Amino acid sequence: MAMEYVKLNNGVTMPLEGFGVFQIPDRDECEHVVLEALEAGYRLIDTAAVYGNEEAVGAAIRRSGLPREELFVTTKLWVQDASYEGAKSALRSSLEKLGLEHVDLYLVHQPMGDYHGAYRAMEEMCRQGVTRAIGVANFYPAVLADLCETAGTVPAVNQVELHPFFAQAAALENMRAYGVHPQAWGPLAEGKHGIFTHAVLAGIGERYGKSPAQVALRWNVQRGVSVIPKSVHRDRMAENFDIWDFALTDDEMGAIAKMDLGHSEIVDHGDPAFVKMLHGLKIHD
């Protein structure tokens, strides 16, 4: 079986699995691992202005020699630039750093600041072809519903925390109701809860010759969720990408769903201190 794809609500096709570069700020290391990911078969690369590695991602893309049309590049608008004019300037800056004429997906990174104004600018930039699709990240159900009811363009993607310990079934139902595709950041729970050795995942994996991580990723894609696992180790990159030759049963899907804790243990967007911290994180003068 080969990599599967999803058609977004505006007709753009996106790989169901990509490679994330969060927390790889070192230029040489990031360029190296992105090049390795591309060599391993990944075609979706997910970065963000706040990650500080857009230039490295662009360098790896150029070194790969792959045709631009084979790649799907995502970047994100940071809180500092969440305004109508700020978004226009920020995307131009991201394109310059990436060395690209357009990105495939541009996301509002956090539901903070004047994201309504920013989103209006993103709608315009999408019509101009500077980005092929637009969406959001970390928009929880009520916030996503408000944007969908307000904006002229329904977001193509909502990238949120989704893994067996935070399944967010109600959030997925809300996204589907609006035609927004769910994408999982932290699909391996950032290594928490012993996910790489978890008994439920390991037991299921033994039936297919797969690791707990592969089972966790497969569980999400079978729920219709795209995933962007990150690793700096080539063997782990290859392992994470090798999830297209088996399928979980309904009982196995249900057993994994029971692992849900019902809350995040990574971030809390309801915490004023967390919101203040994000607003205080400046990526330029």
* Residues that are catalytic: 51
Helix (H, G, I), strand (E, B) or coil at 40: helix
Q: Retrieve residue 16's tokens.
A: 């169901």
DSSP state of 103: B
CA-CA distance, 3 to 17, in Å (whole number)?
8
First to last CA, the chain: 48
In sequence order, the β-bridge partners of residue 166 are 163
**Closest among 105, 180, 109, 117 to 145, alpha carbons compared:** 180
Where are the alpha helices (H) located in 3-153, listed in sequence order? 27-40, 54-64, 84-98, 115-127, 141-150
DSSP state of 203: H
Q: Retrieve residue 42's tokens.
A: 């990944």
Q: For strands 44-46 and 72-77, give the pairing.
A: parallel
CA-to-CA separations, 139 to 114, 132, 158, 254, 257, in angstroms, rounded:
14, 20, 7, 26, 22
User: CA-based Rg of the chain, rounded to a whole angstrom?
Assistant: 18
Q: Which residue type occupies 48?
A: A
Residue pair 218/248 in contact (Cβ under 8 Å)? The answer is: yes
CA-CA distance, 41 to 232, in Å (whole number)?
15
